[in-house]
Structure 1
């Protein structure tokens, strides 16, 4: 029995693609090429920055902004030679951006800086109410983000701004050798 539905090439027993369709290899390669172009474009934005220089981006208030924030952070951290903190930083940034998306309307700003062995990540939004950790029940789907930030960062906090608030956290970090 053929595990592949649709037309089959008798010599290889694999599905035939319709005429004019790209092969899987071409699709996978084009995805890789698109992803590399995006990464190169993001890195080119950092070309004028000196190592250790701050970076800041405005994010639109839509769900895809959490993903964009993670990608921007990953690229900036790689550019700065701070790859070792990328996984934790991306997780915590995603939590803060998601909180901003959930509790406010309007533009969100992500800012990253590195100084004196500390990576500082800030997320600013238009809601002036400071965040507070809450006790999530076992079956709650939300309410654990600030607990993650408390557990994984060395310190965190929030401050009012003229237009809302900024929530920040810091992670100990060091620049990878060779950068």
Structure 2
């Protein structure tokens, strides 16, 4: 006698489709817009992310796509690392929403991560930010950092 096992998410016609999270869809749309030149020439952008674990990789992908669209691919790895640290910490402190904002002005990139509903806590990313960012800080529910995109780092 032959038996078959069917997992709960399979249908008689094959595996069920998995719907991507809001964060994943946002990252896909942002990446497509950047690759097709539809991201605009504006030097400021912000996204609202769901406070879910998928926010971390989605924030990293959106950041990389936008920096590439702005001609700043060489800064993507550092900025992705820092964005991931800030978003992860924001999730860990109980944020109900997360806003990621990037702004580029006169050779300086500013990144802000704001977490609505955050519980106060220590800044575990301080050593990473101090080593990689030009300057950084926390104001209320917003953690931010700045990186020069040309020339040496000067304190602001």
Which residue in 2 is equivalent to 1:43?
34
Consecutive unaligned residues of structure 1, counting only runs of 5 or more, are 1-36, 134-142, 175-179
CA separation in 2, counterparts of 1:172 and 1:153? 9
Q: Label 1:131 to 1:87 Cα distance change in 2 as closer, same or farther (>3 A).
A: farther
SS at match of 2:131: helix
Consecutive unaligned residues of structure 2, counting only runs of 5 or more, are 1-27, 151-156
Alignment root-mean-square deviation, CA? 2.3
1:104 aligns with 2:94: yes
What is the deviation of 1:61?
Answer: 0.7
Which residue in 2 is equivalent to 1:169?
145
Question: Out of 51, 72, 92, which is 2:82 matched to?
Answer: 92
In the alignment of these two chains, the number of paired residues is: 123
Which residue in 1 is equivalent to 2:50?
60
The structure that is strand-richer by fraction is: 2
Matched ranges for 1:1-179 at <5 A: 41-43=32-34, 47=38, 49-51=40-42, 53-127=43-117, 132-133=122-123, 143=124, 145-160=125-140, 165-174=141-150
Contact 2:102–2:110 under 8 Å retained in 1: yes
Greater Rg, structure 1 or structure 2? Answer: 1
SS at match of 1:50: coil
CA separation in 2, counterparts of 1:172 and 1:94? 19
Q: Label 1:88 to 1:70 Cα distance change in 2 as closer, same or farther (>3 A).
A: same
Q: Label 1:156 to 1:46 Cα distance change in 2 as closer, same or farther (>3 A).
A: farther
CA separation in 1, counterparts of 2:36 and 2:142? 24
Contact 2:30–2:39 under 8 Å retained in 1: no
TM-score by length of 1: 0.61
Contact 1:132–1:146 under 8 Å retained in 2: no
Contact 1:131–1:158 under 8 Å retained in 2: no
Q: Deviations over 1:21-66 (max 9, x none)?
A: xxxxxxxxxxxxxxxx867524268625225x20100110111110
